[in-house]
Amino acid sequence: MQNYIGNHKECHLNSHCKKFEICPMILIQDMISGKWKILILWYLSYHTLRFSDLQKRLPNVSQKVLSRQLKSLEEDHLIAKKIYPVVPPKVEYSLTPLGQKVIPILEAMHKFGSDYLEDNHH
């Protein structure tokens, strides 16, 4: 996660978050921004998955980029990586308890997308 201070003057809820060094909206944007992070979290919200399972669900992502996004989500404590001591190595990813708190946000985003498609007949 980037270490910078959010501009509280620009936030319309600045009276609620002045006690923090970083604006909560800037924090969450930093945590889930990235082309694939939202989808990684979405897929992990209902399954523990191996790296190859995530690659199948995200066929347009390179191995390098997927690895980087998973590492970032792990550093932010949203996902957990479990390595099994077998040959070849088996690695599974799942949401942490903190990551599970993101599920309602993802569900709200899904509903917004569904409503948008319905309203615009796409």
Question: What's the helix, strand, coil split of the chain in %, to 5?
Answer: 55, 10, 35
Q: How confident is the model at residue 20 (pLDDT cuts 50, 70, 90)?
A: confident
Element (H, E) at 28: helix 24-32
For the segment 45-64, the average pLDDT, to the nearest whole number, is 94
> Which among 95, 92, 90, 91 is positioned nearest to 79, based on CA atoms?
95
Which of residues 49 and 6 earns the better pLDDT score? 49
DSSP state of 111: H
- Tokens for 42, please give them: 């979405």
pTM of the model: 0.84
Burial of residue 16, with CB atoms counted within 10 A of its CB: 0-12 exposed, 13-18 middle, 19 or more buried: exposed
